[in-house]
Amino acid sequence: MIPNKSVFNKIIGDSDLELRFAQYLEQCQDIISYVKNYFSVQFKIDYKNDHGDISNYYPDFIVKKSEKEFYIIEGAMGLYDGLDATEIASTAHVAKILDMPVLLVVDARGVSRSLAAVVKGFSEFDTVNIQGIILNNTGSERHNRRKRRTNRAQYPGKLHAYASGSSFFC
């Protein structure tokens, strides 16, 4: 992929989803620029691990929304899955520490209205600031319309995006 908004002239993704997400960022009107972080870039955040030692956290993307607003994007396992079945080092933990909004990615394969219950469970489980929802693995256009209606009615004012096949759409 040859990007227009990335600070690099080529995007190297660790997975197909990362490459599709970079393509999605290219289309977002409110995104000024972004970078796909990888080990040769060496952008890292130091933190103290359970043993009190300094460890490194390498986020997947850094996104610039305005001159003063940047987002660090990373997600590993589930939102609340941390070290040794705790919250420590989970995506939710990092988001709360940094007071950062979360974009929740939910597998939408084979469900429609049940998605509202899943998202409600994630929203009420903890105090994470879920500001948007991406439904991944959506099906037919008819199925997508039903999912969009359900989610927008249940969660008005939130960003809603849908990933079908190899593309994201709002």
Q: How many structural domains are present in the chain?
A: 2
> Which domain covers residue 137, as residue numbers?
100-170
**Residue at 5 is within a domain:** yes
In a domain, 139, yes or no: yes
CB 113 within 8 A of CB 150: yes
Q: How far apart are CA 164 and CA 153, in angstroms?
A: 21
Stronger pLDDT, 129 or 15, i.e. the higher one: 129
User: Where is the domain boundary, 40, 74, 108?
Assistant: 74
- Please, which residues bridge with residue 64 across strands? 33, 70
Q: Summarize the confidence of residues 143-151 as an average pLDDT.
A: 70
pLDDT digits (tens, 9 = 90+) for 12-59: 777 776 777 788 788 878 889 888 887 677 788 776 666 778 877 778
Residue 34 lies in a domain: yes
Looking at the domain assignment, is residue 143 inside a domain?
yes
106 and 168 co-located in one domain: yes
Residues 158 and 170 sit within 8 Å (Cβ to Cβ): no
